[in-house]
Amino acid sequence: MHLLLARPGGLKPAVLLTRTCSAGSRALSTFANQDKLPRLPIPTLEDTTARYLKSVRPLLSASEYVDTERAASTFIKSTELGPVLQQRLQQVDAQAPHSWLEDIWLKKAYLEWRDPSYINVNWFALLADNPDFPLVTDAPRGRPTKVQVERAARLVTHMLEANEALNQEKIPADMQRDAPLCMNQYKWQFGTTRIPRPGCDVLVNQYPSTAKHILVMYRNQAASVPVYNSDGQRANIGQITSQLAQATERVDKLLAGQAQVPPPVANLTAGHRDDWTKARALLEQDAGNRESLATVDSALFGVCLDVDVDPRDTADVERSIAVFNHSDAGANRWFDKSIQLVIMNSGRLGVNCEHTPVDALTTGRLLMEVGEKERGPVKDIKPCADLAEPAPIQWNVAPDVAQIIGKVREDAGALAGNLRIVLGQMEGYGAQWIKTLGVSPDAYFQVALQAAYYRHYGQPAPTYESSSLRRFLHGRTETIRSCTEESLAFSKAFGDRDMPLKKKLAYFQQAIATHVELSRAAAAGKGIDRHLLGLRVQIRTPEEAERALLFQDKAYVKSMSFGLSTSNVTPGERFRGGFAPVILDGYGVNYALDANDLKFSVSEWLSSSVTDAPAFRQTLHKTLEDLYEAGEYAKKH
């Protein structure tokens, strides 16, 4: 499995964001703070090595730790390779326009990844229902519904408003407490597509994003739907509703007129990147296909109208999230688009987003704001004149491409069938109660998760929690290694029936304090994993690889085999996301800490003989209950 990538993808922990305002209460423009942002620092070898050794200590036996300590200390000696790699990385930093990490992270974590982006990289979320569009729980299969099309039109309108605000730099700059945050990722929200290429994919993007159409997927066919006229005037909600309805009618007509159903070209985006690369190269040999691909790539975003939906997929939330995650073997999606809204024929809403260009919390923030605007009265605009008509996107599919599509569908079906995601929720308490203990809600959940894993398996797990680096220019993410000596000590103490509660709580407080310190260090650019990645990619020859003893040591791979890949997407009232585990025998845990409840999802690969998501969910739930009882007892005594 790919150990550089914490999937989805990489959903981010909650950050306290505010909108920056001047003394006159006028919000600063989107990129007003960019020149105030510091560059991401390169930690010293000594600091990173010390943090690394501390992070692997709970995972190793005494003899293994001695070997790892020797390898690490040798690696950073002045006569060894570590200082050479550090110097090369500093040269990269000197030449990089914004950040030494930016290109390294894009390539190594995403663009060079050859297994499917589908499920492995793309992340999904279920968004809250809208009382303005009551769910049609008995929606007939195979046909669009009025509620589906009308809700889609409302959402498209607010997405277009968000894009226009970005183009005009009217989205206020984000702040975290008193620190400005980098807004560069917002330039990659719209009009962005990942393109398969041999060995390393590429991103195509335009900012300002001025395309006049969106991509609509319906019955596994793609359609181009104009939402602006040639003068750049936006269609109003009524026109967009009509455009979406016409798009479905024209796809229906196209399919009805075909002796055979056209091969679903969009399904190629769910395949192994090398399969998709080969197929796209073959498609591009045809001029008409090149024009069709350009239409897809430049579309502002995708809208997937799912009509072949079992009513049970609406009634059961876990079945709903499976639809938003992988649909039917990747059907009715163009997974390379940065944002796809997915609307079921029942009216239920979800998203599927490609993680490469933008971190999930950044996109999630935009989507939650769109969701807020979706509710209640909408101020519409006048219809625009001379709006072009929607049209199905046509393909010339040669037999060899059709063969690849068949293979991709089979592979995608197997991958989807191997993934299970279950949901959990603690309705008895949430962040508000946790704060009465005087602790960080995120640290609380992470320590509880460590205790649950130890209770379930009798051993600790290497753990990834994603931390934002948006305090720095073009910052993306760093890893918080949540499995610590202190969390392990608490996990052992928590299950000791003979230990007094007061002593257990002392261990708990130590674990919390350590996690908070690690979180602050990661956000300040003093993490472990990104620096080690930057050093590793400076290795130029096999001989150098052999000399890089830190990376040759077994502990390095072991510590990156994240049995728990986790992310905090607070708030969760309107947004429940998820992603796949990053290793075969691991879990993906996504959670949100709202005022009065805790929500989480647990994913696993069914082919693993180690994991059991429903059982682990139960253990986590029981651990959270026990922690609550311990906290209540401590407060009373």
pLDDT tens for 164-187 read: 999 999 999 999 888 999 999 999
pLDDT at 21 over 50: no
State mean pLDDT over 28-48. Answer: 96
Largest distance between two CA atoms of the chain: 78
State mean pLDDT over 528-538. Answer: 98
The domain spans of the chain are: 41-108+420-636, 117-170+184-379+403-411
State mean pLDDT over 67-85. Answer: 96
Per the CB < 8 A criterion, the answer to whether 468 and 15 are in contact is yes
- Res 602: pLDDT: 98
pLDDT at 5 over 50: no
pLDDT tens digits, 334-343: 999 999 999 9
The CATH architecture assigned to 41-108+420-636 reads 2-Layer Sandwich (3.30)
Per the CB < 8 A criterion, the answer to whether 55 and 515 are in contact is no
pLDDT tens digits, 217-268: 999 999 999 999 999 999 999 999 999 999 999 999 999 988 788 899 999 9
- For the record, the structure tokens of 470 come out as 């948006």
- Res 26: pLDDT: 52
The domain over range 117-170+184-379+403-411 is classified in CATH as 1.10.20.10: no
Q: Quick one: which H or E segment has residue 295?
A: helix 287-298
pLDDT tens digits, 304-328: 999 999 888 888 999 999 999 999 8
pLDDT tens digits, 474-506: 999 999 999 999 999 999 999 999 999 999 999
Degrees to nearest 5, angle at CA 522 with 519 and 527: 130
Calpha distance 156→434 (Å, rounded)? 38
pLDDT at 1 over 90: no
pLDDT at 376 over 80: no
- Res 377: pLDDT: 79
- For the record, the structure tokens of 52 come out as 């690394």
Calpha distance 358→366 (Å, rounded)? 11
More confident residue, 23 or 544: 544
As a whole number, the mean pLDDT across the chain is 93
Question: Which residues, in sequence order, are CB contacts of 140 under 8 Å at separation 6+?
Answer: 345
- For the record, the structure tokens of 215 come out as 């991509």
Percent share of the chain, pLDDT over 90:
88
- Residue 28's pLDDT band (cuts 50, 70, 90): confident
More confident residue, 636 or 540: 540
Degrees to nearest 5, angle at CA 619 with 10 and 603: 30
State mean pLDDT over 57-73. Answer: 97
pLDDT at 534 over 80: yes
Percent share of the chain, pLDDT over 70:
96
Calpha distance 296→239 (Å, rounded)? 21
pLDDT tens digits, 274-300: 999 999 999 999 999 999 999 999 999
Calpha distance 489→514 (Å, rounded)? 12
- Residue 570's pLDDT band (cuts 50, 70, 90): confident
- Res 10: pLDDT: 39
More confident residue, 368 or 511: 511
- Res 20: pLDDT: 44
Q: Which of 19-28, 332-341, 395-404, 471-480 has the lowest mean pLDDT?
A: 19-28
Calpha distance 423→591 (Å, rounded)? 10
Same fold, 41-108+420-636 and 117-170+184-379+403-411: yes
- Res 637: pLDDT: 80
Question: Which residues, in sequence order, are CB contacts of 42 under 8 Å at separation 6+?
Answer: 86, 89, 90, 93, 100, 531, 534
- Residue 42's pLDDT band (cuts 50, 70, 90): very high
- Res 16: pLDDT: 37
pLDDT at 23 over 80: no
pLDDT tens digits, 571-611: 877 888 899 999 999 999 999 999 999 999 999 999 999 99
Calpha distance 20→34 (Å, rounded)? 13
More confident residue, 219 or 21: 219
Nearest to 220 by CA among 344, 338, 334, 348: 334
- Res 27: pLDDT: 63
The backbone torsions φ and ψ at residue 98, rounded to the nearest 5 degrees and listed phi first, read -130, -45
- Residue 427's pLDDT band (cuts 50, 70, 90): confident
